[in-house]
Amino acid sequence: MSTTVDSAMPLQVDKLAKNFRQGKVVVEAVHDISLTVNRGEFVAVMGASGSGKSTLLHLMAGLTTPDAGTVHVDGTDLFKLSDSALTEFRRRRIGLIFQAYNLIPALTAEQNILLPLFLESGNQQNAERLETLLDDLGLNARRTHRPDALSGGEQQRVAIGRALIADPAIILADEPTGNLDSVAGQTICRLLRTLCDEQQRTIVMVTHEPAVAVWAERVVVLKDGQTLSEFRTADFRDSHSLAAAYQDIVGAAPAVEAQA
């Protein structure tokens, strides 16, 4: 039986599945995953390379079409939308943060942040929102700099600003600290935590690092495209104890064989 859709929920994933063919072998990248994320919740999806976590995030963003299952964002079924409507919905309601930043080299920091709104009206409101974001992200002094003049941490803060500028229902972050050193990475984690605590932002973050996942409230562990376990980070005293629990969960789970 499918999950009842709650329009007040930022994200509801129900029995999601996605297969990829590699030659004669069919690989189940995501298998029968269901997940509900509450408003203002910060969820980390953990798993090793090949566990299906990035595929899951792309499905939640409507960037990849599932073979089965549904994704509802703010009560909207993503895969019942036309391509153009999905693109428009994603631009307005889903904030995306990538490991590689994906900034436009020729644009300044503030222009990159405003990129999702270039087709929007209401320039005064957008200008006010930009000023607030630049303050919140500590980027006022770097607003006219292009990406090649920014550090990795500053580029990721610009990417976070771009994800927030349209006031989305949910922020989806794919390994947001993956290209950063440990200090800059922890700064980004702290910023995401602050956005959740102070602005009630809803965040789903994919990571393989326990020191990053510990900043979330809830951790979902994947292996071979399936959900193994969920746990609350408050149950662990630090990232080391969380890492030990994660390894126990992954190590105890039998591998799922690819289907021929």
Split at pLDDT 50, 70, 90, the class of 259 is very low
Phi, psi of 2 (to 5 degrees): -75, 155
Split at pLDDT 50, 70, 90, the class of 251 is confident
The Cα–Cα gap between 161 and 97 comes to 9
Instruction: Report the predicted TM-score, pTM, of the whole model to 2 decimal places.
Output: 0.90
Tens of pLDDT, residues 85-110: 999 999 999 999 999 999 999 999 99
Split at pLDDT 50, 70, 90, the class of 1 is very low
Q: Give me the residue label for tokens 């994800």.
A: 163
Tens of pLDDT, residues 21-45: 888 888 889 999 999 999 999 999 9
Structure tokens at 171: 């922020």
Is residue 257 predicted with pLDDT exceeding 50? Answer: no
| Long-range contacts of 64-68, Cβ-Cβ distance < 8 Å, separation of 24 or more | 64/18, 66/16, 66/17, 66/18, 66/30, 67/17, 67/18, 67/19, 68/15, 68/16, 68/17
The Cα–Cα gap between 15 and 115 comes to 34
Tens of pLDDT, residues 123-179: 556 778 899 999 999 999 999 999 999 999 999 999 999 999 999 999 999 999 999
DSSP code, position 137: H
The Cα–Cα gap between 147 and 56 comes to 29
